[in-house]
Amino acid sequence: GAVVSQHPSWVICKSGTSVKIECRSLDFQATTMFWYRQFPKQSLMLMATSNEGSKATYEQGVEKDKFLINHASLTLSTLTVTSAHPEDSSFYICSAGSGNTDTQYFGPGTRLTVL
Amino acid sequence: AQTVTQSQPEMSVQEAETVTLSCTYDTSESNYYLFWYKQPPSRQMILVIRQEAYKQQNATENRFSVNFQKAAKSFSLKISDSQLGDTAMYFCAFIPGAYNQGGKLIFGQGTELSVKP
């Protein structure tokens, strides 16, 4: 149980285009989802927290107009990187938690390369 | 400030031996949840073990056990009978606060563990 999927696993796009990454909880209802960014050999950096049906809460320094987060249902959250630039290239990971547990379960991540 | 410190950026161990990864944290909360996550080369984050701060008994999961010292704010991970598949980046993390509906995880910098045959 507690499986989280992400799609796509790897995406390459041209500079200036937008990319959408999906995060799904497959066997539980995720009241809260988190989006992280990770650079090679570094720790996870929390970008934002999203609760189903409400606006995401962004961490300091994260541009909310650049990284649009939608959590429309208890099993799906999306991260859209708008007008992507090469510096947005990174590994993006989502995690999900439910209301009756303190544990977060992680998706497999999405590698974004912006050319 | 609530922080997690892993002072060992890299470690190596021979297969079948035991290794201990260090972690200290700082919080003013009296209750919180502590975790060790493993990130193998596939980069999938995998929960290794969790500990509730109000429980004095150290958590154990098969070959993985923790030494939780609440007063010292220390939460080390011991891996016994190390296997090649244990090669990964290990992150110590905690969620500050009382019972929490999926609160923010605060991560350490990670320790890269290599298990050598």
C-alpha radius of gyration, chain B, whole number: 14
What pLDDT is recorded for position A32? Answer: 87
Judge: A102–B105 Cβ closer than 8 Å, yes or no. Answer: no
pLDDT tier at A41, thresholds 50, 70, 90: confident
pLDDT digits (tens, 9 = 90+) for B24-83: 999 888 888 999 999 999 999 999 999 988 888 999 999 999 999 999 999 999 999 999
CA distance B18 to chain A (A): 24
User: CA-CA distance, B55 to B31, in Å (whole number)?
Assistant: 10
User: CA-CA distance, B97 to B116, in Å (whole number)?
Assistant: 39
Phi, psi of B84, rounded to the nearest 5 degrees: -55, -35
Asked if A95 is an interface residue toward chain B (Cβ–Cβ < 8 A), one would say yes
A91, pLDDT greater than 70: yes
Q: What is the DSSP string of A4-60?
A: EEEE-SEEEE-TT--EEEEEEESSS--SEEEEEEE-TTS-EEEEEEEETTS--EEPT
| Least confident window among A65-69, A84-88, A102-106 | A102-106
Contacts of B22 (CB under 8 A, 6+ apart): B6, B7, B8, B74, B76, B111
Judge: A34–B47 Cβ closer than 8 Å, yes or no. Answer: no
Contacts of A99 (CB under 8 A, 6+ apart): A31, B101, B102
Find chain B residues with C-beta within 8 A of A38's C-beta: 43
User: To the nearest whole number, what is the mean pLDDT of chain A?
Assistant: 92
In the structure encoding, which two tokens stand for residue A69, read together? 């987060």
With helix as H, strand as E and coil as C, how does B46-106 read? EEEEEEECCCCCCCEECCEEEEEECCCCEEEEEECCCCHHHCEEEEEEEEECCCCCCCCCE
B89, pLDDT greater than 80: yes
The mean per-residue pLDDT over the stretch A102-107 comes to 86
pLDDT tier at B1, thresholds 50, 70, 90: confident
